[in-house]
Amino acid sequence: MRLQRLSKIGIQRELRVAWFDFAHRLHLSGCAKVEAREQIYDFLDGAPGFESPPTAQSKKYIANVLIKSWINPDCDLVDLRDDAA
């Protein structure tokens, strides 16, 4: 287990449940990390929660959170992800 993950939390913006639901569906479909990232980027272009299209930096940040939550979590979090699925 990475100790740094246990000693700090960084949230830079609001994250929508709909975005996590989308990533969850990608996980259930067996989507690989690279393909998931592309699909998340496309999804975010029209996703709820933005007044204007998100910047590339915003999409990268959000995609990283979604991928680490559903597609490619740390090894010690896989069971938690699977239980949630």
CA 38 vs. chain centroid, Å, equals 12
* Separation between Cα atoms, residue 85 and residue 81, nearest integer Å: 6
The per-residue pLDDT for range 3-49, each reduced to its tens digit, is 666 666 667 778 999 999 999 999 999 999 999 999 999 999 999 88
Are 67 and 41 in contact, with CB atoms under 8 Å apart?
no
pTM of the predicted model as reported, rounded to 2 decimal places = 0.84
What is the pLDDT, as a whole number, of residue 5? 63
What is the pLDDT, as a whole number, of residue 10? 66
Which residue from 72, 81, 77 is spatially nearest to 37, judged by alpha carbons? 72
Are 20 and 65 in contact, with CB atoms under 8 Å apart?
no
Q: Which residue has the tokens 């709820």?
A: 48
